[in-house]
Structure 1
């Protein structure tokens, strides 16, 4: 083994950590992979002596990945304005980015940080707010280190994270407990299967919103569907149109959701938000580019 090989091996061992970080900042696996790949390109470009001089490869790689994500978030906003239909973050199976060695309470917090509900909130933030929040509140990075990453003072980074945290906490306060969420989602599913529009309306908030993300690749609603009756009729229409599909209960980072399968192929994932005993938001991801983590029913 050459002197450089231990540093290379240590850097490669950090890929899962970097992907976990980049996904929370960018919202899709493909974009996260691009950020991590660019990080490693910059690592390989350094000479052997430079790599050997890096005492903590994880922190070097984490900082570079964060800077790349910060740049990507700026251009992503422009791309998403041109996206066909609503843009939604990529939904993940519950085991993706989970860590079994964590205390269960810490795991719940970590799982929530990749939920579609939270990622939607993160999309409303400035790139700097999002990076500061993810680094500090999810990965416990000190503000001095965050300051070096985003090019602002530690005090400014603290304010960025505080502003982001306030928005996240407001969204969390409205959400149901996991047990209530799953009970309401099962009632929603029962009503959807029956095709009873009135039963669906009964489990939907009057201002419920359904967003479907087909990305221009597959057919989906080009605009959000708003209002309990409209959402109920839209869902009933979809169920009637695709009677041969298997809609299976699926654990997600948002709680109970659904995976839609057609002849063994994943064609959609549904995640929902519940508040005060009714469904407030329905997210239907149909874009096949955002279903890469779902392999088998």
Structure 2
């Protein structure tokens, strides 16, 4: 392979990894898909490729489609360690912030993974997130441009149908606020009332993932954590109500998200690993402690 072609591929790598990660939900799987495209390119007559960017998108799309179909047949397959990109916006966000959240890989990917079939998912991601024309999407899927457009439209309706109304969002926020208040007050019984008996807490720290299960254990952990001198602010984290936490110097210490069902918290996700927090952007902490 010529040096010029290798450089042209490297110029496309970042975009290709982004495309694959949004379809597969795993950075490692995305890089594998792009590597496969590189191997296939090495076996091709480069002079016969008129549009390298389009050719690579097609190859990566087909590789991802194969992976998605394989996962469909083996639903036990996991995605990395279960944590995708972290997306944080201030709670009571503006419509512009809601748009950022809905289009982000964190929330949109979670919705897509749960609700879309492989063909729908590919059409939705390629067109709505990367503006790939439907005729090119059709070539990847082996369908017409009109059929690809219908797939994307159906996928879009499914994604939009998962967005929660404001009233439900406010009820869930009230549960999370009550949980934080009970933790800070040392109200163990109050915490138990807000937690599902089988609640799970996944905590990503500097030493890796720690999983806790059960209301009593998690209530005790919440009490201990609430003693720290930190500043908190409500936030939406990957589409769920949660908090952002800062230290006394204004350094971001962590984010937490809670999944609320029928008035109780059924799952908690917290991230304090500095490496994972590097890409998290949010408003600066308030000047006074809350």
When normalised by structure 2's length, the TM-score is 0.64
CA contact (8 A) 1:273 1:281 kept: yes
Superposed CA deviations along residues 5-27 of structure 1, whole A, max 9, x for unmatched, are 1x433331222211221111111
Q: Is the counterpart of residue 121 in structure 1 residue 111 in structure 2?
A: yes
User: Which of these residues, 43, 58, 62, is aligned with residue 67 of structure 1?
Assistant: 62
Q: Distance in 2 between matches of 1:258 and 1:73?
A: 33
Higher gyration radius (CA): 2
Q: Distance in 2 between matches of 1:105 and 1:54?
A: 41
What SS does structure 2 have at the residue aligned with 1:14?
A: helix
Q: Distance in 2 between matches of 1:64 and 1:247?
A: 48
Return 5+ residue gaps in structure 1 as ranges: 96-103, 261-267
For residues 115 and 256 of structure 1, do their structure 2 counterparts lie closer, same or farther at Cα, with a shift above 3 Å needed?
Answer: farther
Higher RCO structure (Cα 8 Å, ≥6 apart): 1
Q: Distance in 1 between matches of 2:193 and 2:2?
A: 67
Superposed CA deviations along residues 262-290 of structure 1, whole A, max 9, x for unmatched, are xxxxxx974345799x777645378x9xx
CA contact (8 A) 2:179 2:194 kept: yes
For residues 28 and 296 of structure 1, do their structure 2 counterparts lie closer, same or farther at Cα, with a shift above 3 Å needed?
Answer: closer
What SS does structure 2 have at the residue aligned with 1:284?
A: strand
User: Which of these residues, 127, 137, 140, is aligned with residue 149 of structure 1?
Assistant: 140
Superposed CA deviations along residues 110-153 of structure 1, whole A, max 9, x for unmatched, are 55333544323212321111111111222222222211111122
Q: Distance in 2 between matches of 1:245 and 1:296?
A: 24
Superposed CA deviations along residues 48-81 of structure 1, whole A, max 9, x for unmatched, are 424xx433x2222222111111111122234442
Q: Distance in 2 between matches of 1:248 and 1:43?
A: 51
- How many residue pairs get aligned? The number is 262
Q: Show the counterpart of 1:236.
A: 219
What SS does structure 1 have at the residue aligned with 2:68?
A: helix
Q: Show the counterpart of 2:41.
A: 43
Superposed CA deviations along residues 98-121 of structure 1, whole A, max 9, x for unmatched, are xxxxxx988864553335443232
User: Which of these residues, 266, 269, 272, is aligned with residue 284 of structure 1?
Assistant: 269
For residues 11 and 246 of structure 1, do their structure 2 counterparts lie closer, same or farther at Cα, with a shift above 3 Å needed?
Answer: farther
For residues 274 and 20 of structure 1, do their structure 2 counterparts lie closer, same or farther at Cα, with a shift above 3 Å needed?
Answer: farther
Q: Distance in 1 between matches of 2:42 and 2:276?
A: 28
Alignment of 1:151-190 (within 5 A): 151-174=142-165, 188-190=179-181
Q: Distance in 2 between matches of 1:203 and 1:282?
A: 11
- Once the two structures are overlaid, the 10-residue window that deviates more, 183-192 or 136-145, is 183-192
Q: Distance in 1 between matches of 2:175 and 2:44?
A: 54
CA contact (8 A) 2:184 2:227 kept: no
- Once the two structures are overlaid, the 10-residue window that deviates more, 10-19 or 26-35, is 10-19
Q: Distance in 2 between matches of 1:294 and 1:94?
A: 11
CA contact (8 A) 1:213 1:284 kept: yes
Q: Distance in 1 between matches of 2:230 and 2:96?
A: 31
Q: Show the counterpart of 2:50.
A: 54
Q: Distance in 2 between matches of 1:29 and 1:128?
A: 20
Superposed CA deviations along residues 144-178 of structure 1, whole A, max 9, x for unmatched, are 22111111222322222222212211112436799
Q: Distance in 2 between matches of 1:176 and 1:244?
A: 32
